[in-house]
Amino acid sequence: MSDVNDFIAGLPKAELHLHIEGALEPEMMFALAQRNGVALPYADVEAIRAAYSFTRLQDFLDLYYRGMSVLLTEADFYDLTLAYLRRVAQDNVRHTEIFFDPQGHTGRGLAFETALNGISRALADGEAELGITSHIILCFLRHLPAEEAMATLDQALPHRDRIVGVGLDSSEQGHPPAKFKAVFDKARAAGFLTVAHAGEEGPPEYIWSALDDLQVLRIDHGVRALEDPDLMLELARRKMPLTVCPLSNLRLCVVDDMTAHPLKMMLDRGLVVTVNSDDPAYFGGYVNDNYYAVRQALALSDEELALIARNSFGASFLDEATKAKYIAEVDAYVASTGRSVAS
């Protein structure tokens, strides 16, 4: 590993855009299929990896929903989540905000609580073992009717203490954020914080809609904001965090080449950019791999890398004192490397 990648490896960071079902590595998919007696349409782990060749978001989603069919019990969600935490502890992730897709599970007959209980128990044990703090964010599947999202929100209400917020994922095109305005109104009234995927494949109008109709606190992806100068100004004015996922964008052909990724331009225009892995088991890398990829392709400086790490804590749903504690860890780390990086 090069010296500059050592710098990334040691940077304390938060991951704010991670679908836990997208952390299901082929090895675990196979093991859980055997444990649960689920048939998979793949001969072996290599065949699973070979299938991960995507030209657009929907190609990935089709395999992502198929992959999650092996997740049946609370223990499965527990094992999946603890494996993710142990993996990202190596990347010096100090805090993570994990998405889960309850409708991907209740639609297969699982109880709403099965996934939530397994994930939250692993997060508690992971914090004790690894010191990584965490939050859980429930995502609604936007390709399904708003009424089903509303019913899912109702299922979540008794668990408000374990779910910090709600988001919106799955097939973006044709499913604008406005479709879920009433759901998000009710979620905010119940005390949930809100985020939404927008401007991944969908147009800049969807980012406007996430801001105005859903009143989100972060935009997930948002890379198509570059197409709308007024939107860029508004995102900067609002200091709206964007959870950017470079390897995901590359693997889903949102960008043709990492050197064409808009992340550096977004930073240069003053946007609050963070770097995340999205679905690391499917897109070829965990969070540090995403930092390495953009550093190399876009020639990011140490200052920019440290800023992205600070942003990751600043944009989190931690309380202000804890954010400040983690940001001070970034500053202390940078100072300890002897690099001169302005805050």
Active site residue ranges = 200
- Indicate whether 297 belongs to the interface with ligand HPA (CB under 6 A): no
Q: Which is nearer to ligand HPA, 278 or 329 (CB)?
A: 278
Q: Does 278 bind Zn ion (CB under 5 A)?
A: yes
Please state the closest distance from residue 170 (CB atom) to ligand HPA, in A.
5
State the binding partner of 79 from ligand HPA, Zn ion, none, CB within 5 to 8 A by kind.
Answer: none
* 169 lines the binding site for ligand HPA (CB under 6 A): yes
Is 21 an interacting residue with respect to Zn ion (CB under 5 A)?
no
User: Tokens 């790490």 correspond to what residue?
Assistant: 309
- Asked if 201 interacts with Zn ion (CB under 5 A), we say no
Closest C-alpha to 179, from 204, 222, 209? 209
Applying CB under 6 A, does 91 fall inside the site for ligand HPA?
no
- Among positions 279, 306, 315, 318, the unique one binding ligand HPA when judged by CB under 6 A: 279
What x/- string results for residues 128 through 167 when contact with Zn ion is judged by CB under 5 A? ----------------------------------------
Under DSSP, the state recorded for 252 is: T
Asked if 74 is part of the footprint of ligand HPA (rule: CB under 6 A), the reply reads: no
Distance CA 7, CA 335 (A): 11
In the complex with ligand HPA, the residue whose CB is nearer, 124 or 253, is 253
Question: Do strands 165-169 and 218-221 pair parallel, antiparallel, or not at all (unpaired)?
Answer: unpaired
Beta strand residue intervals within the chain, DSSP E: 13-19, 93-100, 133-141, 165-169, 193-198, 218-221, 241-244, 272-275
Q: What's the CA dihedral at 8, 135, 233, 187 to 10 degrees?
A: 170
Residue number, 24 or 297, with CB nearest to ligand HPA = 24
Give which of 88, 8, 90, 96 is closest to 312, Cα–Cα.
Answer: 96
91 contributes a contact to Zn ion by CB under 5 A:
no
Contact between 15 and Zn ion (CB under 5 A)? no
User: Binders of ligand HPA: how many residues, by CB under 6 A?
Assistant: 11
**90 and 47 in contact (C-beta within 8 Å)?**
no
Task: Report helix, strand or coil for 220.
Answer: strand
Cα gap 213→241, rounded to integer Å: 17
Binding site for Zn ion (CB under 5 A): 278
Binding site for ligand HPA (CB under 6 A): 19, 22, 57, 64, 169-170, 197, 200, 248, 278-279
